[in-house]
Amino acid sequence: MRSFAFARGCLAVTILALPRLASAQTPDLAAIQQQIDQLKQQLQALQDQLSKVTSQPPAEPPAAAPPAQAAQAAAEPTATVPPGAEGAGGPSGSLPVYGAGAASSKVFNPDMAVIGDFLGAAGHNTVNPSPAMQMHESEASFQAVVDPYARADFFISFGEEGVDLEEGFVTFPALPGGLLVRAGKMRAAFGKVNTLHNHVIPWADRPVVTANLLNGEDGIDDAGFSVARLIPNPWIFLEATGQVFRGDSGELFTSSKPGDLSYVGHLRGYHDINENTNIDLGASYARGHNASGVVDGTDIGRFITQLGGFDATMRWRPLQRSIYHSFVGRSEVVWSRRQQPQGEQDSTGFYLSGDYQFARRWFTGARYDRSDRADTSALDSGQSLTLTYWPSEFSQIRGQYRRTRYAQTETANEFLFQFQFSIGAHGAHPF
Amino acid sequence: MSTVKWITALALSLIAAAPAAAQGKLNVVTTTEDLAAIAREIGGDRVTVESIARGYQDPHFVEAKPSFILKLQKADLLIVVGRELEIGWLPPLIQQSRNAKVQVGAAGYLDASQRARILDIPTGQVTRAEGDVHPQGNPHYWLDPENGKIVAREIADKLSELRPNDRSVFDQRQAAFAGRIDEAEKRWLAAMQPYKGVKVVTYHRSFPNFAERFGLNVVGYVEPRPGIPPSPQHTLDLINDMKRQMVKVVLVEPYFDLKTPNAIGRETGAEVLVLPPSVGGTKEVTDYFTLFDYDINLLVGALKKVGTAAATK
């Protein structure tokens, strides 16, 4: 196959070089045009042959050999200097083929995908109103293997106005000692929802506890290192993750000195109860400097926020009917201890959710939310019901009814609707 | 395998002769039970083989459970069906396996589709308007015993590469397997011979290689497009088409809902068969041979029942 790439590269270079070579001579546009047309035809013929060869079953190599030779023969004359260009200070003989490397290395382009998230809201919310319609997020992903030792994943989130690197990291999957090391910007391994992108969570929004205690939709998402190791034991899957970040995660963590790092630790246990049912438990801890002690850009307070978390997920999916029915029950509890000028503020929040797939393309779910705010003692709570339809694996339509009670006084009733659609090759998500 | 590699491997194994001889069984993990069955045929007692997906499960939609990470972590060899069958779930498992041996492109990673005869390779522009298409061709290629032999050869080569000392064992077992396939295939072809060209409808495009080998003429699908569940309009069109073409058999993979196929069967008088496309698809199908025994037996029984009228083209 390399010879084709070579031949194509030759053609490309020849075509690109033509006008310049010709302008060194007397310009005869019609002749050049003719030559270009000829070359285009030859290129087309070659591409046809190439697609024929690639679509042939590889089980018959002898059959594939003759067309390969033929194509090479056809390609050869086109790689030479066009008649008339020779001897005029231009190159003679075969043209150098600069394009070949680039053409063949296109196969190394990363997997690219874009996932659109269109979000609408109707109803009444005076505390935290959502726009009636918004192209909430367009997530572009670029994922590929870097070399035998690493792979890279980029997730770039385009809002309607700004662009944000949601995640961009390199992973070393095969280090000695069973370590899985990541470096870059990533969503921290705190609990479950914090690690998930918008398009894989079963709701149109994120739980109240995320908004109140975990920096909202952006979550703990920062630049740093992550090291994860499996802890061998005869009973369950057990993974310990340690992460060090610069210490900037929106309102939650603010780093005013290079030493103000934030730390996240996570322990995950997973066990298959049977082939249909499994349980996934996690404990998390995070620590970093918060912004409440910052006065005029100087952190005079040196206040710390500590977070603890516990998450539990129970999944059921009957193997033989796995594409039709499933259930996921999940809960996360988060404790926050935030030092601030008024003293220490302890807050707690949790959500409890269940999502049931009742047909191949249909899901319904419910969620209960309850959470203190991080810096005051106000308590918010909420309930949601969702209905999701997948026209295909690559798109989904979701409606969500949400009732939120803010600080036990204001009540908001809203209907959220969401269209999500994916194009390109989006890598599979971790379980 | 290139000779240079082979010589290098041989040289290395000679240098490390003592430890090589003391090596334990090769730990082979496959994505599907079909590959596991073939790997067992070739590896014999020199290997332990485990499959990630079960045969009665849709291999496109396996969950990437962490327990599979543990299996991959300990694997010496990972054999995959390829052709993007596992694209939705295998990459994160490999990535989290912390096992350098089974990373894509490493010595312990084998894509079994490389030399097999692959059908349905799309030509021209491929878009998802056609549903969940496989740009690299139909991945259900193991349902042709000739491909089974090719896959067995690939596995034997790979096992020999990893355990050069046992090369003769693997070669011998591979030859024996091919011989047994040839024997059985005569029987299978003979059983299907009277029904050559019989028109059938299948749920998903799981059977092109099987149909090609055993002379079935697949004229329609219960799915309007690959991966898209049946729509009322498509089902109606299919029923009319089946009546017009006198199609009397509907083949359904064990992991699909039988509601629509049964309705089609009632409307058209066609037999609805749950035909396992994989080893483990049903209790009786325990290895690569019983897969064809079972499927062909089931088919022949049904074709006898619906009469030979269906066999006319």
Q: Look at B88 and A178 and tell me if their CB atoms are within 8 Å.
A: no
pLDDT digit string, tens, across residues A307-317: 999 999 999 99
Mean pLDDT computed over every residue of chain A: 84
Q: Residues in chain A whose beta carbon is closer than 8 A to a beta carbon of chain B?
A: 51, 55, 57-59, 145, 148, 151, 171, 173-175, 178-180, 230, 237, 239, 268, 270-272, 275, 278, 280, 315, 317, 319-324, 360-361, 392-394, 423, 427-431
Higher pLDDT, B296 or B15: B296
* Cβ B63 vs Cβ A317: under 8 Å: yes
Distance from C-alpha of A377 to C-alpha of A337, rounded to nearest angstrom: 12
The residue in chain A having the minimum alpha-carbon distance to the alpha carbon of residue B119 is A57
Q: Which of A392, A395, A421, A422 to mutate to test the interface with B (most CBs of B within 10 A)?
A: A392
Chain A neighbors of B115, CB-CB under 8 A = 58-59
Of A268, A319, A360, the CB nearest to B54: A319
Q: How would you label A40-52 residue by residue, b for 16+ Cβ within 10 Å and e otherwise?
A: eebbeebeebbee
What separation in angstroms does the CA of B92 have from each of A165, A426, B54, B132? 21, 12, 19, 20
The residue in chain A having the minimum alpha-carbon distance to the alpha carbon of residue B130 is A392
pLDDT-based confidence at residue A365 (cuts at 50, 70, 90): very high
The answer to whether residue A26 scores a pLDDT higher than 80 is no
Q: Look at B67 and A272 and tell me if their CB atoms are within 8 Å.
A: yes
Query: Helix count (H) and strand count (E) of chain B?
Result: 11, 8
Of B58, B117, B118, the CB nearest to A323: B58
The residue in chain B having the minimum alpha-carbon distance to the alpha carbon of residue A236 is B67
Sign (positive or negative) of CA dihedral B246, B248, B253, B257 = positive
* pLDDT value for B227: 87
| Among the four given CATH numbers 2.30.30.30, 3.40.50.1980, 3.40.109.10, 3.30.300.30, the one describing domain B3-183 | 3.40.50.1980
* pLDDT value for A52: 63
The residue in chain B having the minimum alpha-carbon distance to the alpha carbon of residue A361 is B229
Chain A neighbors of B100, CB-CB under 8 A = 173-174
Distance of CA A386 to the CA centre of its chain: 24
DSSP 8-state class, residue A319: G
How close A171 comes to chain B (CA, Å)?
9
Residues of chain A with CATH 2.40.160.10: 112-424
pLDDT digit string, tens, across residues B222-261: 999 988 889 999 999 999 999 999 999 999 999 999 999 9
* pLDDT value for A197: 94
* Cβ B83 vs Cβ B205: under 8 Å: no
pLDDT-based confidence at residue B310 (cuts at 50, 70, 90): very low
A360 CB-side CA count, 13 A: 20
Q: Look at B91 and A428 and tell me if their CB atoms are within 8 Å.
A: yes
* pLDDT value for A173: 86
Dihedral, CA atoms, A315, A317, A322, A325, nearest 10 degrees? -100
Q: Look at A392 and B131 and tell me if their CB atoms are within 8 Å.
A: yes
Q: Look at B123 and A145 and tell me if their CB atoms are within 8 Å.
A: no
* pLDDT value for A54: 56
Distance from C-alpha of A255 to C-alpha of B199, rounded to nearest angstrom: 70
* pLDDT value for A70: 44
How close A121 comes to chain B (CA, Å)?
29
Of A171, A178, A270, the CB nearest to B66: A270
pLDDT digit string, tens, across residues A266-304: 999 999 999 999 999 999 999 999 999 888 888 888 999
Of B67, B92, B228, the CB nearest to A428: B92
B230 CB-side CA count, 13 A: 23
Beta-carbon contacts below 8 Å between A and B: 109
State in Å, rounded, how far the first CA of chain A is from the last one: 37
How close A59 comes to chain B (CA, Å)?
5
pLDDT digit string, tens, across residues A159-205: 999 999 999 999 998 788 889 999 999 999 999 999 999 999 999 99
* pLDDT value for A41: 76
The answer to whether residue B5 scores a pLDDT higher than 60 is no
Domain A112-424 class? mainly beta
* Cβ B31 vs Cβ B59: under 8 Å: yes
Q: Look at A239 and B255 and tell me if their CB atoms are within 8 Å.
A: no
Give the residue among A268, A225, A219 at the shortest CA–CA distance from A243: A225
The answer to whether residue A256 scores a pLDDT higher than 60 is yes
The answer to whether residue A364 scores a pLDDT higher than 50 is yes
pLDDT digit string, tens, across residues B107-157: 999 999 999 999 999 888 888 888 888 889 999 999 999 999 999 999 999
Distance from C-alpha of A274 to C-alpha of A318, rounded to nearest angstrom: 10
pLDDT-based confidence at residue A38 (cuts at 50, 70, 90): confident
What separation in angstroms does the CA of A15 have from each of A4, A12, A31, B23? 16, 5, 13, 58
Type of residue at B3: T
DSSP 8-state class, residue A96: P
Of A59, A268, A272, the CB nearest to B65: A272
Domains B3-183 and B187-311 share a fold: yes
Type of residue at A194: N
* pLDDT value for A96: 53
Of A145, A237, A361, the CB nearest to B69: A237
Chain A neighbors of B116, CB-CB under 8 A = 59
Report the percentage of chain A scoring pLDDT > 90: 66
Chain B neighbors of A360, CB-CB under 8 A = 229, 257
Of A59, A392, A431, the CB nearest to B63: A431
DSSP string across B179-210? HHHHHHHHHHHHHHGGGTTEEEEESSS--HHH
Higher pLDDT, A209 or A13: A209
* Cβ neighbour number for residue A275 with a 10 Å cutoff: 14
Chain A neighbors of B104, CB-CB under 8 A = 145
The answer to whether residue A219 scores a pLDDT higher than 90 is yes
* pLDDT value for A337: 96
The mean pLDDT value for B12-38 works out to 73
Of A57, A180, A271, the CB nearest to B98: A180
Domains of chain B, residue spans: 3-183, 187-311
Which residue is it, tokens 């090596």? B23
Chain B neighbors of A114, CB-CB under 8 A = none
* pLDDT value for A60: 42
Kindly report the backbone phi and psi dihedral angles of residue B22, in degrees, each rounded to the nearest multiple of 5, phi listed first: -85, 0
- For residue A77, count CB atoms less than 10 angstroms from its CB and return exposed for 0-12, middle for 13-18, buried for 19 or more: exposed
Domain B187-311 class? alpha beta
* pLDDT value for B216: 96
How close A226 comes to chain B (CA, Å)?
13
Q: Look at A230 and B67 and tell me if their CB atoms are within 8 Å.
A: no
The residue in chain A having the minimum alpha-carbon distance to the alpha carbon of residue B281 is A320
pLDDT digit string, tens, across residues B48-69: 999 999 999 999 999 999 999 9
ipTM: 0.86
How close B54 comes to chain A (CA, Å)?
8
Strands (E), A95-206: 111-124, 133-147, 150-158, 163-172, 179-187
* pLDDT value for A36: 73
The answer to whether residue B15 scores a pLDDT higher than 80 is no
Chain A neighbors of B67, CB-CB under 8 A = 237, 270-272, 278
Which residue is it, tokens 């092109």? B208
Distance from C-alpha of B176 to C-alpha of B178, rounded to nearest angstrom: 5
Which residues are CB-contacts of B311 (< 8 A; sequence separation ≥ 6)? Answer: B194, B195, B196, B197, B198, B303
Say how many residues make up chain A: 431
Q: Look at B150 and A59 and tell me if their CB atoms are within 8 Å.
A: yes
The residue in chain A having the minimum alpha-carbon distance to the alpha carbon of residue B53 is A319
pLDDT-based confidence at residue B180 (cuts at 50, 70, 90): very high
Distance of CA A76 to the CA centre of its chain: 44
Of A145, A178, A270, the CB nearest to B67: A270
* A39 token code pair: 């070359």
pLDDT digit string, tens, across residues B58-107: 999 999 999 999 999 999 999 999 999 999 999 999 999 999 999 988 99
How close B99 comes to chain A (CA, Å)?
5
DSSP 8-state class, residue A249: B
The residue in chain A having the minimum alpha-carbon distance to the alpha carbon of residue B113 is A58
